[in-house]
Chains A and B, each alone.
Chain A
Amino acid sequence: MIGGLDFSVVRENLPYFFLGRYPRGPLGGVALTLYLAVVSLVLSFFGGLILGLLSVSRNRLVKWGSTAVIQTIRGMPLLMVIFWMFFLLPAMLGGGMTADWTIITALTLFTSSYMSEIVRAGILGIPKGQMEAALSTGLSHGQAMIHIILPQALRNMIPSFVNQFVSMIKDTSLAFIVGVSELTHVATQMNNRTMLYPTEIFLFIAVIYFIMCFAFTELSRLLERRLAWRKSI
């Protein structure tokens, strides 16, 4: 008991918060939250890279088209993107997509458009002379991008990527709305079942989310300092 709060409900259901109904049922809770976040982040990395490269393309049509897509997704709430995916994907694919993968698709689409801005800023942040030098040594524009510009740009983007992972962990909580049993969903279920301990349950999962996100926020700060130090020498 801390200040009139009774955390025994959390203590008794600890495995449920962390693993869901696993091993007797599907994985859930913290484990599913991390799974959704990691898979979506890896996919968003490639999505963001592709969209970012398209948005700095020299072909105007490609540039404007990709910018329009990016700005449209960035202008929408994530919840709207999730509803669209749940509505459109079954119509387009004729069903057969699990809720987990639908949410991963929505998170990937949403985060890719934010990542693409990071990628674009990273590419534009590399001095022009690098590209000119690469072209004058006989590389094609594409080769110069892949071998000269991107490796430098990506290294500078690492802290931003880690930050994006923090947002991703927070964003996975929206999977609750469509019934994917990640941490927030597990907590609301527990709350519906016990009725008496909403404060304790939501405080507990807030702390769990905080520990996960804060660890990565600190990592991103550490990486930023190390990059700044490397640049200075």
Chain B
Amino acid sequence: MNYRFDWAIVTSGKYFEWLVSGLYVTIKLSVVSIALSFLVGLVIAMMRMSHVRPVRWFAHGYLEFFRNTPLLVQIFFWYFGSYKVLPQSVNDWMVRQDFEFAAAVIALTIYTSAFIAEDIRSGVRSIPKEQMEAARSSGFSYVRSMQYIILPQAVRLTIPPLINQFLNLMKNSSLAMTIGVAELMYQARQVESYTFRGFEAFTAATVVYLAMSFTITGLMTLYDRVVLQPIKGR
């Protein structure tokens, strides 16, 4: 092979700046979506454990439907097809935003929240039933016992799966390139088509993705060692 590598292309100058801006969008997309997914996931998990049947069924349907549909199809639905099912005011609001970014955030949030809701539910279920009974008998309402007694304990156990979901979300956010969100993968493709230096561009993007993945995995190990092990050991 007589291919000459030219790493300078991706380590300095215009194309380097493209990749950095792509990394910035990837991080922004992931952080905004994980925060929203956590909130939505928490609500869905609570609904899933509700005593009111229709509420429980709705949450169950939500979980099963969004977990068993490809993220890419969901992204296309929100990007191309949501205008017919959303109220006019929401459509107007979305158009005024960065529409591609908003559609990607909605799709990623809904997809990830369905997984997070199950993680939270299994966290809550791992808290012994007596905790709830003790809280109720000391006069807390159902919601307040959840809020002050069960959830604080459950969330601590749910953090490792949540970090794992953040890792998946960060990797899944690369699909946003299909609707034109200029995140890392999109920029790597741009660099490739402008310079025909695909090997260098993809290597740079791969290294950045791996660095992020290993950092997140490292955080998970650290959390386990510093927070969870001492609790379990006691």
A-side residues, CB < 8 A to B, are 3-5, 71-72, 74-80, 83-84, 87, 91, 166, 169-171, 173-174, 176-177, 184, 187-188, 191, 198-203, 205-206, 209-210, 213-214, 217
Flag if B70 contacts A77 (CB, 8 Å): no
Is B174 touching A202 in the complex (CB atoms < 8 A)?
Answer: no
Which listed segment binds A: B133-141, B154-162, B206-214, B224-232? B206-214
From A87, A169, A173, A213, give the contact of B199 (CB < 8 A).
Answer: A87
Query: Are B72 and A202 in contact, CB atoms less than 8 angstroms apart?
Result: no
14 A–B pairs (Cβ distance < 8 Å), ordered by A? A72-B210, A77-B175, A78-B171, A80-B185, A170-B71, A184-B72, A187-B76, A199-B83, A202-B76, A202-B77, A202-B81, A203-B77, A213-B68, A213-B69
**A79 and chain B: residue at smallest CB distance:** B174
20 other A-B residue contacts (CB within 8 Å) besides A79-B177, A169-B70, A214-B64: A71-B214, A75-B209, A75-B214, A76-B210, A78-B171, A80-B174, A80-B206, A87-B202, A91-B1, A173-B70, A173-B73, A174-B72, A176-B72, A184-B76, A199-B85, A202-B77, A202-B80, A202-B81, A205-B73, A209-B68
Chain B residues whose C-beta falls within 8 Å of the C-beta of A217 in the assembled complex: 64, 67-68
Q: Which residues on A sit within 8 Å (CB–CB) of B71? A: 170
Min CB distance B227 to A, Å, is 23
Taking the nearest CB of chain B, how far is it from the CB of A199, in angstroms?
A: 4
Chain A residues closer than 8 Å to B213, beta-carbon distance: 74-76
The answer, among B73, B206, B214, for a CB contact under 8 Å with A202, is B73
Other-chain contact of B202, A80, A169, A184, A206 (Cβ < 8 Å) = A80
Q: CB-nearest residue of chain B relative to A3?
A: B85
Q: Contacts A77-B209, A199-B85 given: A83-B202 contact, CB under 8 Å?
A: yes
B65 interface residue (CB < 8 Å to A): yes
Query: Is B178 in the interface zone, CB < 8 Å from A?
Result: yes
Instruction: Tell me the minimal C-beta distance from B86 to chain A in angstroms.
Output: 10
Q: Are B69 and A84 in contact (CB under 8 A)?
A: no
Category for how many chain B residues contact A:
35 or more
Shortest distance from the beta carbon of A166 to any chain B beta carbon, whole Å: 7
Closest chain B residue to A6, Cβ basis: B84
CA distance A200 to B81 in the complex (A): 8
B198 and A87 contacting across the interface, CB-CB below 8 Å: yes
What is the CB-to-nearest-CB distance from A109 to chain B, in angstroms, rounded to a whole number?
A: 14
**Interface code B175-189, partner A: CB below 8 Å = 1, 0 otherwise?**
101100000010011
- Cβ contacts under 8 Å, B210 to chain A: 72, 75-76
Q: Are the CB atoms of A206 and B69 closer together than 8 Å?
A: yes
CB closest residue in chain A, given B86: A199
Taking a contact as CB atoms under 8 Å apart, the answer to whether A203 and B81 are in contact is yes
Bound complex: CA of A76 vs CA of B174, how far in Å?
A: 10
Measured in the bound complex, the distance between the Cα atoms of B68 and A185 in whole Å is: 18
Bound: A214/B74 CA distance, A? 16
Q: Check if A177 sits within 8 Å of B178, measured CB to CB.
A: yes
Q: Do A209 and B209 touch (CB < 8 A)?
A: no
Q: Is the CB of B68 within 8 A of A210?
A: yes
- Assess the B185–A79 pair: CB atoms within 8 A: yes
Chain A residues near B80 (CB, 8 Å)?
191, 198-199, 202
Residues of B close to A205: CB separation below 8 A: 73
Give the chain A neighbours of B50 by CB distance below 8 A. Answer: none
Q: Is B82 an interface residue (CB 8 A)?
A: yes
Please determine whether A206 and B77 come into contact, CB atoms closer than 8 angstroms. yes
* Residue in A closest to B174 when the chains form the complex, CB atoms: A77
CA distance A184 to B73 in the complex (A): 7
Instruction: Give, as a whole number of angstroms, the nearest-CB distance from A227 to chain B.
Output: 19
Within 8 Å of chain A (Cβ to Cβ): is B172?
yes
| A210 with B81: CB separation less than 8 A | no
**How far, in whole Å, are A213 and B71 apart by their CA atoms in the complex?**
13
Of the residues B69, B82, B83, B205, contact of A80 by C-beta under 8 Å: B205
* Shortest Cβ distance from B85 into A: residue: A199
Per-position contact with A for B1-28: 1 when CB-CB < 8 Å, else 0?
A: 1000000000000000000000000000
- Please determine whether B171 and A77 come into contact, CB atoms closer than 8 angstroms: yes
Chain A residues with CB under 8 Å of B73's CB are: 173, 184, 187, 202, 205-206, 209
Min Cβ gap B137→A in Å is 33
